[in-house]
Every structure is written in structure tokens, then in C-alpha cells.
Amino acid sequence: MNRKNFDTEPRSPRITPFGIFVDQLGYYPDSGKKAIIPFECNGFDVVDMDGNVRFSGTPVSAGYDEASGGNVWTADFSDLAETGSYCVKAGGKTSAMFRIGNDVYYDVFDKTSKAFYYLRCGCGLDKRCAGVWHHEKCHTAPAKLWENRDVTLDVSGGWHDAGDYGRYVTAGACAAAHLLYAYKMFPKAFGKQKLNIPESGCPDILSEVRYELEWLLKMQDSEGGVYHKATTAQHAPFVMPEDDTAEMYVFPVSSMATADLAAVCALASGVYAAYDKAFASKLRGAAERSAEWLDRHPEFIGFANPEGCNTGGYGERDDFSNRFWAYSELYALTGDLKYHSKLVSAMKEDFPLTALGYGEVGGLGSLAYLLSKQGKDVNLEYKLKSMFRRKAEELKKTADKSGYGIAMTEDDYCWGSNMNLMTKAMIFAINDAVFNDRTYRGYAKRHLHYLLGANALGISYVTGLGEFRCNYPHLRPAFADRIEECIPGMVAGGPNKYLSDPFARQVIPEGTPPMKCYADDTASYSLNEITIYWNSPAVFVLAYLCGN
């Protein structure tokens, strides 16, 4: 299939050649292994590369699955533990090839981590590190303040947020936090990781996150407030980043951006202290300045695009969870009781204490408190642990009702459904790490299995990985480079039952089950865009599985 101009007539969605759905990367030898069969049959075989039957069994009915709109059966081959490559066959149909081995997730872990490098802004990507996906430096010119065009700022650097070339503080802080917590909680996973990026001196993932942090620091004003975003006035056409030469603007300070910068800089300060004390001190100073700004501005200062701008808004209804996260991280870093008082006060507001997305970050604040080495209020610690445990038990019940073993309700299949999928897996991983309850590990793995092909469309939602995988994301350089094989390691947004763009409404028939509302096409931003904060929870889950 060749790339095409997506402004022409849309093509039909790609259809998997496989009738049986598996994790196309594979399974650990000692873990549960189930293929999903969407048709009734009497038996199944697991066949090796030479055509030898290595395991046989009888599918078990999982009943009618609402999200996929059909009856499903599961083929359990957990007892097959021998390292090798296999496929599942039943009823004249077959699955994609997959592997069984202790290293099956190393490649996807490395590629989803390396994806952030390919999204760097403000620099060129050279052939040594980027291979065929190299490009020239981009977006290095000074930016203008939207509200005072006479003022210019250097805000070069950071990661392109998504399919566009914008950079957004709240989204970036969330993605960086996912990666920092992955390293903090599961450091063994990163010990041997080699991402082939230009920097050295600390684990590669920390070098990559530092690239984003250096940009975030540039977004703080002299009073400690933080500009909400740096973008052009309109989304760029589908050109390479160096060819996007429109004026860059810095948009007004928001209290959400200020709180999120305080939070992630405090978190990062504790992590980088072991590698670069001067940088850690700089991060701490920035976090404390933003906290002081929040003290001076207790009111909510939101953000909405001004007239003349149509790039991402990243608006929020309030900043309660953002402030809670900021004070929790600052307390974890400093032990200063004033921050403890402020985080407790922030908890008087109503917000979810286990949420891990960019729009609600209460779960990050809870995690900061639970992992802190500072003194804790016993009742508060118990409350936060109970919230995580209760959330995990709630998700388990939902997953147990799903034919695909995942904790996704029909409403979870919205814009960025794969973020919902992976943050639910994060909840299971956190519960295992905090409570040492290995029951949750299997549930986390099922969510990864779905992402990598054990879903109703039989597609791996990570570019470059899996025998049948997404390859045409809504991502400007992936289209403009005219290279058929997509930049690897990018997590696609996934099924969205709301069909929130014109292309999606053209190609997805009305009444399509939620899990099947997807098309692998550049034109569909509501189904197939990528973002840094969809990749980051996947990296967290993979770090948990590879390093724990």
C-alpha cells in the first residue's frame, strides 16, 4: 500500500488477514497465554515455525462481548512454555506469528521509549541516531508572546506533542512524569536499555526526559508562572518539521501549567540528584518558584484558545488535582510541612485521586505521597492506598466481564482510547508495586496483549511492531517523509466510538461496535493520531513488566 494524499477520497479501513487474535509480540513462558477466537470451533492447535503441532486444546466460550459486538471464545495455551515462535490455528483460520520467551517485550519497550527522540523539536535528527527518519533542525526561531508581539522568547526544544508540531506544558509534564515514575519504580528495566540517542552520562530514558525538562524550564516566566503552550497560530500543513516556518507564539500563563511544572520539576529534581546535582538544584528552584506563584494566585486561571488560534487547547475545568500533585511532589522532595498542609488542603476539593492522565493528575499526586520517604500521616496514607486498591478491584471486575480481558467500558472507547487502556494497566502495575499483590500482574499484561494485537481488529496499535500493525498515523513527519514504513514505536490513539473527525464518519459505518471504530489512516486524527502522553503510559507498563 502506498501513501496517498489524504485530502482525496478516503480508502476503506485495512482489514487484518488473521482470523484469530493474539499478542503479536508474544508471551512470557511462565505467564497466562490466551488467543481470542471470534467464531465457534471445536478445537485449536498451537503450531511452531516448522508446522509441528506443539499444543492442542478446546476453546472456552467467553460469551457475548459488548464492546466488540460478537461472541468470543478463548484458546488457553498457558501450559506451553517452550521458547520459540508459534501461531494459533482453528476452524481453517490462523493467527499472526508470535514468540514465547523472556525477552519478548524488550524490543517494544525500547521502541516506545525511543519514540520520544523522534519527536524532538528544536534540533535535527541525524542519521546515526534516527536512521532513515532523520531530518534537519526545526522551530529554532524566537517566539512571540501572543498578547505582546514586541516580546520574544527562546522556547526551542522539547517534544512535539502529537501529530502536530505544537508543544504543551500540561501534556509534556504528564508524559515526563510517567517516564520518571517508570524509572523511579522499575529502574532495573532501564539498566541495559540503549536507545541510540546523542546524550550520555545517565540512563538513556533520563537523558531523553531531560530534553523535555529543559524546554519546560524555558516556559516559566520571571514571576514563576508558566506559559500554557508554544505553537503556531494554526496547525501546520503536512510538511516536515523543518519546513514549518510559520511564526511561533507563546500563549498566556495558566494555573494548570504552573502547577504541573512545579510538580514534574520537583519529581525530576529527586531523580536527577544522583546524576547532576546542579541540574537537580535548578529543577528544585523552578518548582519552588511556581509553588510561590500558586500561593499568590489561589484562583483558577484556565486556558482557552484566543481568537485566531486553532491549535490544541488543553483546557481544564479546574486546577484542583494539579495543585495537589504539585504540593505532593514538593513535600516528597523537601519534607517541608508547609507543602504537606497545602496538599491536605487541596484534597478537600472533589477530584479523582487515582487519575493518571494529563487532564486529571490526582493519581500522580497520590503516587508521590505513597512513594515519599518523608514522614506520612497514617490516615492519609491509608486513604490513598485504599483508593488505588479499590480502583484496581473495580477494574478487575470490568476486565473479568470482557471477552478480551480488559477493563474498558464502552465509553472508554473515545479519542485516545489506548491511553485509557494503558493508564488502567498502570493502576494494576502500581497496585502490584505498592501492595506486592501479583494477582494484578496478569491483568496488566492482558491490557498490553490488547494493545499489541489481541483485540477485535487483530492489529498492533504500535507502529513498527507486530505482523499486522498500524502504519499510517496522523503524524506530520510520518506522512511528509514519504517513507513507507512508519517511524517505529508510536502508539496510535485507537478506537473511538464517537467518530470525532470527518474521515472517521465517512469510513466507519454507523452502529459499528466501539472496539471496531478504528481506521489506520493519516486522515483520521480522532482515531489514529499519536501523542507523547499515549506513549508514556505504555512505556511505564512495559518497564513494570520488563523490570519487575
CB atoms within 10 A of CB 2: 5
- One-letter identity of residue 196: N
String of DSSP letters for 382-403: HHHHHHHHHHHHHHHHHHHHST
3-state SS class at 53: strand
Q: What is the DSSP string of 415-471?
A: TTHHHHHHHHHHHHHHHHHHH--THHHHHHHHHHHHHTT-STT--BSBTT-SSSB--
Q: Which of 110, 208, 412, 529 is catalytic?
A: 529
CA angle 524, 530, 532 (to 5 degrees): 155
132 Rama class: left (phi>0) / alpha (psi -120 to 50) / beta: alpha
DSSP letter (8 states) at residue 76: E
Q: Is 164 a catalytic residue?
A: yes
Instruction: Classify residue 368 by burial, with Cβ atoms within 10 Å: 0-12, 13-18, 19+.
Output: buried
- Report whether 39 contacts 456 (CB < 8 A): no
Task: Look at strands 84-90 and 98-100 and give their pairing.
Answer: antiparallel
Give the angle subtended at the CA of 414 by the CAs of 413 and 417, to the nearest 5°: 65
Q: Which of 319, 501, 520, 521 is catalytic?
A: 520
CA dihedral 397, 401, 407, 411 (to 10 degrees): -110
Rounded CA gap, 73 and 404, in Å? 9
- CA 473/CA 461 separation, integer angstroms: 10
Q: Are 302 and 233 in contact (CB under 8 A)?
A: no
Query: What's the Cα-to-Cα distance from 202 to each of 109, 374, 522, rounded to whole Å?
Result: 18, 26, 36
The answer to whether 9 is a known catalytic residue is no
Task: Kindly list the distances between the CA atom of residue 473 and the CA atoms of 35, 69, 235, 415, 522, in Å, as whole numbers in the listed order.
Answer: 26, 25, 16, 14, 5
CB 121 within 8 A of CB 212: no
Torsion of CA 451, 455, 458, 463, to 10 degrees: -20
Q: What are phi and psi of 450, to 5 degrees?
A: -60, -50
Which of 135, 160, 235, 474 is the catalytic position? 474
| Catalytic residue, candidates 45, 161, 164, 467 | 164
Q: Which three cell numbers, joined as nine digits, stand for 508?
A: 466507519
Is residue 474 part of the annotated active site? The answer reads yes
DSSP secondary structure code for residue 175 in this structure: H
- CA angle, corner 186, sides to 181 and 189, nearest 5? 120
C-alpha span between 248 and 52 (Å, rounded): 60
Catalytic (active-site) positions: 164, 474, 520, 529
